[in-house]
């Protein structure tokens, strides 16, 4: 792999890691909200 | 746009796919109608669902549709490569390896169904699972490559969202969601065949047995008219069965009359040049507006008269 290809791989991995992190954070908030809704009898 | 891939000697890209290509696999634009009809099923249902749980139900419908679209593209990557309209999708363009798409699609399927079950109820989750399985196995793998009637039965997959939305609230499936299912089911053939009339060159190149390719345009135009007539009955059924009131009744009557007019114009025409198919394109565009109109009317009607 050339240095340029290596740089592209690193950049791609970084952007995917950021998106995965944001999605996991959003899921934590969603599951917390679902739990609160469930225990408050909202179903 | 994702950058061009660095390819290995085989077909798999050496660098990981861009996250935007995973989003592209879910066909976000096609999802709009699915989310809207699911939301309308949810809003028209009697009873109340906590806003967070309602949001989650709609999210699950969207994710399930995205999962089905992903698995469809995983299976059809070779076919997509032959069509101008689809050649730049992540898999045929070589920006992603097929295994990543498969894992993403299967993972998203399980996640959407399990989340639906946990957040709302397991009937809604089961119907969501059936809709994904139906789209992938019955439509994509079985019917689409084999019969020109593929979208007649396969269209059922797109008809499930209002049933899922309804079931998420009520925990059951009654007459109105079934009627809405039938409306989308019989709406799909004229909607899709109008499109197939003016993009048939693409389907022909890929060897997909779309009706205009296999049976010709005259038969396609006749079938569009035939299914429009059945769709009209399905559209009026909620009124005739007293499941909805005059708001939906008026919207359905006027909307369907215009649909029938456009479909009749398409039926009467004999034009094979895609560049001169304005009425066919008009029918296709109007068919989308029509579904939005009728489903919006169902919700307003139920809120006013329920």
User: Is B64:B131 a contact under the CB 8 Å cutoff?
Assistant: yes
Closest CA to B193 of B133, B277, B131, B254: B277
Residues in chain B within 8 Å Cβ distance of A4: none
Q: What's the average model confidence in pLDDT over B51-62? A: 98
Residue B23's pLDDT is what? 96
Burial of B259 (0-12, 13-18, 19+ CB in 10 A): buried
Domain ranges of chain B: 17-171, 174-306
Put simply, the answer to whether A40 touches B50 (Cβ < 8 Å) is: yes
Put simply, the answer to whether B15 touches A19 (Cβ < 8 Å) is: no
* Residue B58 banded pLDDT, cuts 50, 70, 90: very high
Put simply, the answer to whether A33 touches B52 (Cβ < 8 Å) is: yes
Residues in chain A within 8 Å Cβ distance of B56: 30, 34
pLDDT in tens, B31-56: 899 999 999 999 999 999 999 999 99
Lookup result for tokens 């999605």: A23
**Nearest neighbour of A37 by CB, restricted to B16, B19, B50:** B50
The whole-angstrom separation of Cα B266 and Cα B277 is: 9
> How far away is chain A from the Cα of B167, in angstroms, using its nearest Cα?
12
Put simply, the answer to whether B19 touches A9 (Cβ < 8 Å) is: no
Burial of B258 (0-12, 13-18, 19+ CB in 10 A): middle
The whole-angstrom separation of Cα B275 and Cα B32 is: 27
Closest CA to B263 of B284, B249, B277, B248: B284
Closest alpha carbon within chain A to B119:
A34
Looking at chain B, how many residues does it have? 306
pLDDT at residue B2 greater than cutoff 90: no
Half-sphere exposure of B242 (CA within 13 A, CB side): 0
The pLDDT > 90 percentage for chain B reads: 74
The whole-angstrom separation of Cα B208 and Cα B106 is: 25
pLDDT at residue B305 greater than cutoff 90: no
Tally helices (H) and strands (E) across chain A. 1, 0
Distances (CA, A) of A25 to A28, A30, A32, B3: 5, 9, 11, 27
Q: Architecture of domain B17-171 in CATH?
A: Orthogonal Bundle (1.10)
Domain ranges of chain A: 1-43
Least confident of B8-17, B114-123, B126-135, B249-258: B8-17
Closest alpha carbon within chain B to A35:
B119
> How far away is chain A from the Cα of B25, in angstroms, using its nearest Cα?
15
Residue B207's pLDDT is what? 78
A12 or A41: whose pLDDT is higher? A12
The whole-angstrom separation of Cα B18 and Cα B120 is: 33
Lookup result for tokens 């009124």: B239
Q: What's the average model confidence in pLDDT over B275-300? A: 94
Interface test with A, best of B2, B3, B6, B21 (most A CBs within 10 A): B6
pLDDT in tens, B235-286: 999 999 999 999 999 999 999 999 999 999 999 988 777 778 899 999 999 9
Residue B153's pLDDT is what? 87
* Residue B13 banded pLDDT, cuts 50, 70, 90: low
The ipTM is: 0.90
B72 or B1: whose pLDDT is higher? B72
User: Is B263:B283 a contact under the CB 8 Å cutoff?
Assistant: yes
User: Is B173:B41 a contact under the CB 8 Å cutoff?
Assistant: no
* B27 DSSP 8-state letter: -
* B17 DSSP 8-state letter: P
Residue B252's pLDDT is what? 98
Closest CA to B161 of B290, B33, B294, B302: B33
Q: What's the average model confidence in pLDDT over B220-226? A: 96
pLDDT in tens, B160-209: 999 999 999 999 999 999 999 999 999 999 999 998 888 766 777 787 88
B198 or B226: whose pLDDT is higher? B226
pLDDT at residue B91 greater than cutoff 90: yes
């Amino acid at each position: 792999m050339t240095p340029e290809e290596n740089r592209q791989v690193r950049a791609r991995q970084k952007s995917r890691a950021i998106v995965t992190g944001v999605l996991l954070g959003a899921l934590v908030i969603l599951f917390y909200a679902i739990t609160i809704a469930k225990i408050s009898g909202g179903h | 746009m994702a950058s061009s891939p660095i390819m290995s000697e085989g077909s798999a890209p050496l660098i990981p796919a861009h996250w935007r290509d995973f989003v592209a696999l879910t066909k976000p634009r096609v999802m709009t109608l699915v989310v809207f009809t699911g939301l309308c099923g949810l809003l028209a249902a009697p009873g109340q669902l906590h806003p967070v749980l309602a949001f989650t139900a709609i999210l699950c419908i969207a994710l399930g549709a995205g999962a089905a679209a992903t698995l469809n593209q995983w299976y059809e990557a070779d076919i997509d490569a032959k069509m101008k309209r689809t050649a730049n999708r992540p898999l045929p363009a070589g920006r992603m390896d097929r295994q990543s798409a498969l894992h993403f699609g299967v993972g998203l399927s399980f996640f959407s169904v399990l989340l639906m079950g946990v957040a709302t109820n397991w009937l809604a989750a089961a119907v969501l699972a059936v809709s994904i399985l139906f789209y992938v196995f019955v439509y994509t793998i079985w019917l689409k490559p084999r019969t020109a009637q593929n979208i007649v039965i396969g269209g059922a997959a797109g008809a499930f969202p209002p049933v899922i939305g309804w079931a998420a609230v009520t925990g059951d499936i009654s007459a109105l969601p079934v009627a809405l299912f039938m409306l989308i089911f019989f709406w799909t053939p004229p909607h899709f065949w109008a499109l197939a009339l003016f993009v048939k060159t693409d389907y022909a190149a890929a060897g997909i047995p779309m009706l205009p390719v296999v049976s010709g345009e005259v038969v396609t135009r006749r079938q569009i008219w035939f299914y429009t007539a059945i769709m009209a009955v399905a559209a009026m059924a909620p009124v005739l069965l007293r499941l909805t009131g005059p708001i939906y009744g008026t919207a359905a009557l006027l909307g369907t009359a215009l649909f029938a007019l456009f479909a009749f114009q398409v039926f009467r025409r004999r034009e094979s040049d895609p560049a001169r198919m304005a009425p066919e394109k008009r029918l296709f565009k109007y068919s989308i507006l029509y579904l939005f109109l009728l489903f919006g009317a169902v919700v307003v009607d139920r809120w006013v008269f329920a």
